[in-house]
Structure 1
Amino acid sequence: MVNYMLMITGELENLTNLQPQGGCDDPDFTYYFKVKCGNCGEVSQKETCVTLNETVPLPKSKGTTHLVQKCKFCDREGTILMIPGRGRPLTQEMSESGKFTPLMLLDSRGFEPVEFYFGTGWKAESMEGTKFDGIDLSGGEFAEYDEKGECPVMISNLRATFDVTK
């Protein structure tokens, strides 16, 4: 069992509190990433998607998890369980310092998560308090104009990493 913390950062211009639409523990937010098999090292060709509100039974067990998947190369099975309560929004201060912010903790068995894809369903707020909902980051950036604050707002240079954690 290895826990991986999904860490994100990016450049926020006149914005703060970038996070999934319903907060860091949004049960409906879909996380997209590729996985690497812990047995043969093969990386999945397609993105895997998991959400907190969808669980599947663990094979040969009474428990549940958020993902059960077989490696297409060696047929070894792996699971990923999402552990809510450890994520925080990406703030303007963290963005300016270039530091990564924790988003979601994953208990991974048999797989290593790699290459997170930002996708849709994000929110942020301007430094003047204007809320921006339903942000689509699948193109890697977001640009808009804050009428209330009379300034441009932008999200760019998004990056994600998975850090091994306890």
Structure 2
Amino acid sequence: MVFYMLSFTAELENLTNLQPRGGCDDPNYPYYFKVKCENCGEVSQKETCVTMSESVPLPNGKGTVNLVQKCKLCGREGSIQMIPGHGQPLTHELSQHELNTRLMVLDCRGFEPVDFSFGDGWKAESTSGTPFEVDLSGGEFADYDEKGECPVGVTNLRAMFTVVKKQKRWCGTAFV
């Protein structure tokens, strides 16, 4: 079993706390990404959609996961289980320092997640406190904050998956 941390960063202009609309652990937020088969190396042509609120039984009947899928090339099955409780919003300060923030941890068996796709269903607030619904499906966002009398925006959006080891507990910045 391999655990992958999905993290992201962006340049935030007069915005802070960028995250999925229902928060980082929103059970209904759809995560879209391509997967790579660990057996044959085939990368899926279409993006896979995974949400925490959906669960399916494992083929061997021992538990449930959020996704079971077969590789279209070699036919081997893989599964993905989302592990909540590790995400945090991207703040203005993290953005200014070009630091990534954690979004989700995935327990992947048979697949490696690649190429996360940002979509609609995000939220942020301006530095003056005005809430904004943010659509990142175009790769960026721009609007105007009437209260703060300034432009707001999200640009240079980047996501990455990194391997993390889960042993006993999460200490807030890493698995220990």
| Category of TM-score, reference length = shorter chain | over 0.9
Tell me the TM-score normalised to structure 2 length. 0.93
- The aligned residue for residue 113 of structure 1 is 113
- The aligned residue for residue 137 of structure 1 is 136
- The aligned residue for residue 171 of structure 2 is none
Aligned length: 165
**SS of the residue 2:96 aligns to:** helix
Following superposition, the deviation at residue 136 of structure 1 comes to 1.1
- The aligned residue for residue 174 of structure 2 is none
Identity over aligned residues, as a percent? Answer: 72
**SS of the residue 1:18 aligns to:** strand
Please list, as runs of the form range in 1=range in 2, the aligned pairs for 1:1-166 lying within 5 A after superposition: 1-133=1-133, 135-166=134-165
**CA–CA separation in structure 2 for the residues paired with 1:60 and 1:108:** 16
**SS of the residue 1:3 aligns to:** strand
Following superposition, the deviation at residue 61 of structure 1 comes to 2.0
Following superposition, the deviation at residue 138 of structure 1 comes to 0.6
**CA–CA separation in structure 2 for the residues paired with 1:157 and 1:38:** 30
- The aligned residue for residue 169 of structure 2 is none
Q: Which runs of 5 or more structure 1 residues have no equivalent in the other structure? A: none
> Residue by residue, what CA displacement relative to the aligned partner does 1:110-138 show, whole Å, maximum 9, x if unpaired?
000000000110000000000012x2101
Tell me the TM-score normalised to structure 1 length. 0.98
Q: What letter corresponds to residue 152 of structure 1 in structure 2?
A: P
> Residue by residue, what CA displacement relative to the aligned partner does 1:73-110 show, whole Å, maximum 9, x if unpaired?
00010000000000000011111111110000000000
**CA–CA separation in structure 2 for the residues paired with 1:96 and 1:19:** 16
**Runs of 4+, deviation exceeding 2 Å:** none
**CA–CA separation in structure 1 for the residues paired with 2:16 and 2:61:** 42
Could you tell which deviates more after superposition, 11-20 or 60-69? 60-69
Two-structure CA RMSD over aligned residues (Å): 0.6
Q: What letter corresponds to residue 119 of structure 2 in structure 1?
A: G
**CA–CA separation in structure 2 for the residues paired with 1:80 and 1:111:** 8
